[in-house]
């Protein structure tokens, strides 16, 4: 079914009907078949949390500020902005030619509505805490203030004023995230929960949604009303979810995919030999970690959590499981953020033998031995890479008296379970920077964060994070406080960092504008394809 549909799409878009006549090949639509390692859960910007959804939403919507092909900041729906001398008030001037896909203007009121909707507890937004730097955003989200008390104001239809509690150095970059995208109130009022369906979705980005066949493809077409439509070279995007990485490689080789955002790392050497520089592997800001239920016995014992973390051989994972396409990780904040020094696990510099001896001693003290093992389940989302990682850890922990079972679900189901605070012992997760600042990696462990899958709750950590937020005007002090907060988190083993990411992309030589960058961001509006 998938292959037939794709071929039909490709041929149909090469022979496009225009006014009842076939277009000549010179004017055939340019179709980009963009492979994705997972299916999006939704295209509602305020209810998403994964990078798979971010890639889709980046093409459908436009925030006040966006990212270019190299992940640099560029104007989005706002053509310019000013920042007050105290760093707390941002005034955005919206571009006069910004319109929704239905032709109605994008106004400051749209952003006021959208930011309030993100913080509305009824929305259940995973990323509600992202906007907490805004005055009263947290209070609105926790039902302690009214939406109109939030520090977001429409001065006039084309002027938006945002007031922060304290200077926030990463605020502009944060606004590139999908949680800060505007949504169309009239469409939501009219269609209710159906507003996100193909043909109904009103968006303001370079593309509009026309089809969505679950587990098959999501189709978007160029939005002629987009303010920069004249420079958009792709006419049709087919986002094609393929969780099986090996199958994706076969589809790429057959020409069914023009790019794919992951690789089966056990095949990396062969793939490099076959595809050469079409394989793109380089470091980017991300941490591969295991969430562990800190509020559930026996995982609520910090000694036990530390023993499990200490026993895991990260060098083996990086070198053997991931074929040196990932790096051993001992902190939640990966290296690469200028001016910040990550807080590493205290056992990071010890030999693996010493770590295992220490872990074994703790486990024996707690009553766990190979004869009387501790039973632990690891959940992971579908991927040969994630499976191989879990199997390796299963084997590493077994001699120490931990009997690991594995539970695999597809990515959508996996993250839905974590986001809904479902029961588990240990679960695979990954965090990719939403902005180039330590806060994006530490904020997910705050009590209020919808992404705090471990249910980690530390008053000391919260206090230090609050102090860091208040010190926004003093970068050096702020980084110092964030480092202290990370130290608390790492010592508490609120999460178990395992690896630092590299991006793993395969990109057709037909594509230009798919530029490597530390954020692994590739907006389709800047990509072109040669036939």
From first to last of the 531 residues of the chain, give the pLDDT tens digit: 443 333 333 333 333 333 333 344 446 899 999 999 999 999 999 999 889 999 999 999 999 999 999 999 999 999 999 999 999 999 999 999 999 999 999 999 999 999 999 999 999 998 999 999 999 999 999 999 999 999 999 999 999 999 999 999 999 999 999 999 999 999 999 999 999 999 999 999 999 999 999 999 999 999 999 999 999 999 999 999 999 999 999 999 999 999 999 999 999 999 999 999 999 999 889 999 999 999 999 999 999 999 999 999 999 999 999 999 999 999 999 998 999 999 999 999 999 999 999 999 999 999 999 999 999 999 999 999 999 999 999 999 999 999 999 999 999 999 999 999 999 999 999 999 999 999 999 999 999 999 999 999 999 999 999 999 999 889 999 999 999 999 999 999 999 999 999 999 999 999 999 999 999 999 999 999 998
Cα-based distances in Å from 453 to 308, 421, 423, 447: 18, 7, 10, 10
Which pTM value belongs to this model? 0.85
Of 53, 78, 56, nearest to 65 by C-alpha is: 78
pLDDT the model gives residue 20: 38
Same domain, 56 and 170: yes
Torsion of CA 116, 120, 124, 129, to 10 degrees: 60
Same domain, 225 and 352: no
Question: Can you name the residues that pair with 497 across neighbouring β-strands?
Answer: 289
pLDDT the model gives residue 27: 65
Same domain, 434 and 287: yes
Per residue in 336-376, pLDDT tens?
899 999 999 999 999 999 999 999 999 999 999 999 999 99
Same domain, 203 and 341: no
pLDDT the model gives residue 303: 98
* 20 located within any domain: yes
* 215 located within any domain: yes
Strand blocks (E) in 95-206: 152-156, 159-163
Q: Check which CATH number belongs to the domain holding 339 and give it.
A: 3.10.105.10
Q: Check which CATH number belongs to the domain holding 115 and give it.
A: 3.40.190.10
Of 270, 233, 249, nearest to 510 by C-alpha is: 233
For residue 496, give its domain range: 283-502
List all residues 6 or more positions away from 437 whose beta carbon is below 8 Å from its beta carbon: 169, 170, 173, 337
Same domain, 42 and 91: yes
Same domain, 358 and 455: yes
Same domain, 126 and 51: yes
CA-CA distance, 389 to 391, in Å (whole number)?
A: 6
* 255 located within any domain: no
Same domain, 407 and 375: yes
Residue whose token pair is 């008053």? 459
* 258 located within any domain: no
Q: Specify the number of domains making up the chain.
A: 2
pLDDT the model gives residue 1: 40
Strand bridging mode 259-260 / 31-36: parallel
Of 146, 154, 151, nearest to 166 by C-alpha is: 151
* 265 located within any domain: no
């Amino acid at each position: 079914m998938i292959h037939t549909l794709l071929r039909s799409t490709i041929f149909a878009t090469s022979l496009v009907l225009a006014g009842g006549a076939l277009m000549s090949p010179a004017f055939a639509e340019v179709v980009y078949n963009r492979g994705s390692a997972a299916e999006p859960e939704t295209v509602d910007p305020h209810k998403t949390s994964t990078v798979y959804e971010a890639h889709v939403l980046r093409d459908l919507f436009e925030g006040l500020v966006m990212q270019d092909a190299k992940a640099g900041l560029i104007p989005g729906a706002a053509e310019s902005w000013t920042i007050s001398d105290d760093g707390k008030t941002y005034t955005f001037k919206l571009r006069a030619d910004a319109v929704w896909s239905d032709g109605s203007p994008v106004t400051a009121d749209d952003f006021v509505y959208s930011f309030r909707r993100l913080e509305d507890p009824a929305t259940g937004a995973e990323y509600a805490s992202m906007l907490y730097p805004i005055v009263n955003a947290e209070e609105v989200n926790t039902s302690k203030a009214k939406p109109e008390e939030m520090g977001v104001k429409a001065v006039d239809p084309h002027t938006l004023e945002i007031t922060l509690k304290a200077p926030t150095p990463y605020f502009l970059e944060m606004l590139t995230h999908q949680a800060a995208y505007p949504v169309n109130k009239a469409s939501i009022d009219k269609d209710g929960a159906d507003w996100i369906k193909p043909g109904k979705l009103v968006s303001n980005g370079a593309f509009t949604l026309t089809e969505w066949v679950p587990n098959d493809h999501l189709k978007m077409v160029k939005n002629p009303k987009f303010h920069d439509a004249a420079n958009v070279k792709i006419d049709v995007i087919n986002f094609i979810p393929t969780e099986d990485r090996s199958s994706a490689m076969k589809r790429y080789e057959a020409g069914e995919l023009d790019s794919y955002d992951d690789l089966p790392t056990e095949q990396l050497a062969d793939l490099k030999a076959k595809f050469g520089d079409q394989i793109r592997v380089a470091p980017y800001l991300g941490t591969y970690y295991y969430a562990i239920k800190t509020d559930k016995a026996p995982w609520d014992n910090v000694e036990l959590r530390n023993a499990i973390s200490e026993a895991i051989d990260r060098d083996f994972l990086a070198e053997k499981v991931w074929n040196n396409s990932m790096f051993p990780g001992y902190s939640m904040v990966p290296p690469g953020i200028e001016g910040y020094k990550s807080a590493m696990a205290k056992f990071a510099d010890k030999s693996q033998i010493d770590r295992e001896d220490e872990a074994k001693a703790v486990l024996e003290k707690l009553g766990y031995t190979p004869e009387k093992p501790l039973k632990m389940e690891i959940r992971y989302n579908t991927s040969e890479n994630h499976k191989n990682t879990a199997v390796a850890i299963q084997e590493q922990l077994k001699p120490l008296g931990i009997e690991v079972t594995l539970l695999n679900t597809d990515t959508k189901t996996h993250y839905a379970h974590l986001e809904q605070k479902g029961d588990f012992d240990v679960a695979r997760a990954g965090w990719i920077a939403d902005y180039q600042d330590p806060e994006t990696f530490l904020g997910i462990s705050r009590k209020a964060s919808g992404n705090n899958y471990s249910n980690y709750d530390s008053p000391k950590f919260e206090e230090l994070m609050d102090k860091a937020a208040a010190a926004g005007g003093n970068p050096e002090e702020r980084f110092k406080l964030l480092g202290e907060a990370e130290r608390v988190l790492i010592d508490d083993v609120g999460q178990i960092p395992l690896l630092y990411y590299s991006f793993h992309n395969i990109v057709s030589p037909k594509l230009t504008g798919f530029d490597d960058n530390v954020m692994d961001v590739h907006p389709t509006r800047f990509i072109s394809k040669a036939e």
